[in-house]
Structure 1
Amino acid sequence: MNPQELEKLKYPIGQHHEHIKFTMEDVASWISDIAQFPAQISSLTENLSAEELNWLHRPDGWTIKQLVHHCADSHMNSFMRFKLALTEDTPSIKPYYEGRWAKLPDANMDEVSDSLMIISGIHRRWAVLLNSLDEKQLHRTFYHPQHRQEMNLGTTTSMYSWHCKHHLAHIQQALTHKGAF
């Protein structure tokens, strides 16, 4: 596989482009993506066999089950970062090694229903919280030590809208190719 093909498999919807400026209409669209994600990921994965859950989304990539468990982990972390930014002045958040987390036993269970429940609950609460934010609150920030920058909640909402679509595309890719990479 050539480098362009590998890049397309890694970023099937393209890479995230940071939105320094955004409108409330942009934010509403991103919140909608976040709110719809639980139904979309459940629809794609809840009836998959253990064999299908072990299909890769690309060479040297994660399995479908690792993608589902990763979304639960990642979105729990993000939800907490939003709450910290809303209740503290530019808190420094704790990054985590997602690749290492994906190797832990709980991220390799063939049963994904627990992670789907986590995603459903987190996203329901996250959407309520996001829909309550005004423009001033969307400009509240947290400090990300790994990236060495402050990140505002509006831009972070954009990133997680993208993150949802990114991993849905990975799962669809694995299903389309039947994990044959």
Structure 2
Amino acid sequence: MPFDAAARESFLRRYAEGPALLRRAWEEVPGEARIWRPGEGRWSAQEVLIHCADSETYAAIRIRLLLAEPDPLIVGYDENAWARRFDYHAADPELALTLIGAVRAHTASMLAGLPGEAWERMGRHTQSGPYGTDDWLRSYGEHLEIHAAQIRRNLTAWEAGHGR
């Protein structure tokens, strides 16, 4: 369902504010808790953070494909396979945070200048079917919020298990 102007503006604001929110959540986690996993098959705070960096770089391409290409195809990926393949625990968290901030700032600037008709563009997602610019904004407008909350849940669980 397409956004009205107020909803779109709200999601654009959330999109732009996401990196600061994620950074604050990350900085709350003590070093010894950053690679702790809350359970089998669940991600550590570091894995969540590095996933966000990978996701943001791909998201920036996805919106550009939607806006510029005729009949764009948005290809899904297996985020768990990426976490394993790219050894997220070996990645540099500060570099990831810097990347997320830069990619979001660059994309937010581009989005701010879009004409209204750009928000009517549609493509196809390999996993979910029809996929438009508002679908993209809905997903990525809340993406870092969701993962900041996940990092905080990990911290709460870690503290409970370590008597803090």
Correspondence for 1:7: none
Aligned residues: 160
Taking only aligned residues, the RMSD between alpha carbons, in angstroms, comes to 1.9
Runs ≥4 residues deviating over 6 A? none
Amino acid of the structure 2 residue aligned with 1:21: P
What's the TM-score once normalised by structure 2's chain length? 0.87
1:46 and 1:113 in contact (8 A); partners too:
no
Report which of the two has the higher share of helix: 2
1:90 and 1:143 in contact (8 A); partners too:
yes
Amino acid of the structure 2 residue aligned with 1:137: A
**Displacement of 1:81:** 0.8
Amino acid of the structure 1 residue aligned with 2:157: H
**Displacement of 1:90:** 2.1
Correspondence for 1:161: 141
Correspondence for 1:75: 56
Structure 1 residue runs of 5 or longer lacking an equivalent are 1-19
1:64 and 1:171 in contact (8 A); partners too:
yes
Distance 1:113 1:104 in 2: 20
Percent identity of the aligned residues? Answer: 25
**Which of the numbers 116, 119, 123 marks the counterpart of 2:104?**
123
Amino acid of the structure 1 residue aligned with 2:119: L
**Which of the numbers 150, 155, 158 marks the counterpart of 1:175?**
155
Amino acid of the structure 1 residue aligned with 2:51: H
Where 1:39 maps in the other structure, the secondary structure is: helix
Structure 2 residue runs of 5 or longer lacking an equivalent are none
**Displacement of 1:42:** 1.3
Where 2:152 maps in the other structure, the secondary structure is: helix
Amino acid of the structure 2 residue aligned with 1:52: A
Residue 5 of structure 2 is aligned to residue 24 of structure 1: yes
